[in-house]
Structures are given as structure tokens and as C-alpha cells.
Structure 1
Amino acid sequence: MTYLLAGVLVCVILGVLSFGSVLKHLLSMLLSLEFLVLMIFLLIVLHFYILSEGTYVAIIFLIFSVCEGALGLTMLVSMARSFGGDYISSLSLAA
């Protein structure tokens, strides 16, 4: 069990590093953010499995992560229609 927990913690650290390193495309940022959310969800599930308690917190976290993913994809589609791509550098607040 400790090897699994250590593996998930390493994946969380790699997810944070990948989220911080891909700042050019919004799609890459969303993909690394979803990976990070999935690893945090696995960490929560492992925590509740070790303690043998209810997993209501994990289900609520999963609901919020699905809403976050849908909002991110909506922003990606909106940005692609407005600016013609998912480049972060092409964003401009001036009209």
C-alpha cells in the first residue's frame, strides 16, 4: 500500500511540474490539470480506503472536477472561435 501511495504522490508532483511548464497552449494546460485532479482524487480515495471511512468527500470532489473540466472545455471552444486557436500568447484584452 505504501508503494501505491508513494507512486500517487510522485504523480501529483509530476502533474504540478507539467502544469507549470506548459504555458503555451490552453489544451495542454487543461490536460495536465485534469491529470493532476485525477491523481488528487486517487490520493483522496486511498486515504479513505486506509481509514475505512465513507467516501462522500471523494464523490463531491469528483463532481467539482467534472464541472471544472466542462468549464475548461467551454473556455477552450470559446477562445478557439474568437481568436482562431488555443495559443495563450494570442490573448489580448484590447478589442
Structure 2
Amino acid sequence: MGNFMCMFLFSVISLIFMRKHVLLVLISLEFIVLILLLTSVVFCMKFNYSFYIYVLFMTLFVCEGVLGLSLLVNMIRCHGNDYLNSMFLW
């Protein structure tokens, strides 16, 4: 579990520091999702639980990825680029 925590911390740090492009933020979020899925598989295998929660997580994370990509495409169509500064968030 120490490796998963280290990977999770690195992905959160990359999410914090790579905030120029929306695509980089989405890749960092998907890496966090991948680590959460791997952690849930290890948890289910360690305690002999069923993998239904894994399928539920996978469905939710696929929906999250599709929503992020659709927002990215919409932003590129409206603004012409994927810079976070062009959205006037801060």
C-alpha cells in the first residue's frame, strides 16, 4: 500500500503544479482514478470481497472521463485553445 500512497501523492502534486492546459489536468485526474481503482482491487482481493464495487467505480470513472473530454472539446470549440487562463477562472 505504500507504493499506492506514493503514486497518489505524486499524482496530486502533478495536479497542483501542472495547471496550464486542461488536457494535463485531465491526465492527472485520470492517473488519480487509476490509482483508486488499483487500490480498490487490492482491497477486494485482500479481504475476499466481491468485485461489484470495482465495477461501480469503473462505471463512475468512465463517466467522469467522458465528461472531462466533452468539456475539453467544448472549450476548444468556444475558445480555440485549452489554456485554463482563457476561461477567466481566476
1:77 is displaced (CA, Å) by 0.4
Secondary structure of the 1:14 match is helix
Aligned to 2:60: 64
Aligned length: 89
Match of 1:38 among 28, 34, 39: 34
Amino acid at match of 2:18: V
1:92 is displaced (CA, Å) by 3.7
Write out the 4+ residue segments of structure 1 that deviate beyond 2 Å after TM superposition. none
The TM-score normalised by the length of structure 1 is: 0.89
Identity %: 36
C-alpha distance in 2 between matches for 1:77 and 1:42: 28
1:23 is displaced (CA, Å) by 1.2
RMSD: 1.2
Rg larger for: 1
Aligned to 1:15: 11
Amino acid at match of 1:47: F
Q: Which runs of 5+ in 1 are unaligned?
A: none
Q: 1:30-71: CA deviations, max 9, x gaps?
A: 000000000011001101110011011111011000000000
Amino acid at match of 2:87: L
C-alpha distance in 1 between matches for 2:36 and 2:66: 18
